[in-house]
Amino acid sequence: GQNIDQPTEMTATEGAIVQINCTYQTSGFNGLFWYQQHAGEAPTFLSYNVLDGLEEKGRFSSFLSRSKGYSYLLLKELQMKDSASYLCAVRSPPEGDSWGKLQFGAGTQVVVTP
């Protein structure tokens, strides 16, 4: 079956580092995405991994291991504005003209405290 798992909630202090893990079991794989979603707003794109390894983009980094079906999003130097839900999404292989659909995990609510 298809499954994308991530923790429900994490709490961290301003200035600290938080690592959000995502494990997946899907019938196919065509990339893994991380999105940030503030309450009542649409998701915003953070990172994309299709090959194994670490992708770094400012304070945010994302890691992928395809053999383990595992990814993490690392948030450094946490700021209050980073309090949001972080969504892990796996893209399915292309079908016809489509690049593949995204299947989302339930999201991890990160709470940053002063």
Least Å distance, CB 106 to another protein, is: 5
Beta strands in the chain (DSSP E): 3-5, 9-13, 18-25, 32-37, 44-49, 53-57, 60-65, 70-75, 84-91, 102-104, 108-113
* Selected range binding another protein among 20-28, 52-60, 74-82, 101-109, rule: CB under 8 A: 101-109
Rounded to a whole number of angstroms, the minimum distance from the CB of residue 1 to another protein is: 14
Please, which residues have CB within 8 angstroms of residue 65's CB and are 6 or more apart in sequence? 52, 71
Is residue 18 within 8 Å of 9, Cβ to Cβ?
no
| Closer residue to another protein in complex, CB, 69/105 | 105
Considering only the C-alpha atoms of the chain, give the largest distance between any 2 of them, rounded to a whole number of Å: 49
Q: Figure out which of the listed residues 73, 86, 107, 112 binds another protein, where binding follows CB under 8 A.
A: 107
Residues numbered 34-73 forming contacts with another protein, rule: CB under 8 A: 35, 40-45, 48, 50
DSSP state of 51: S
Nearer CB in complex with another protein: 38/59: 38
Task: State the residues that interact with another protein by CB under 8 A.
Answer: 31, 33, 35, 40-45, 48, 50, 87, 97-99, 101-107
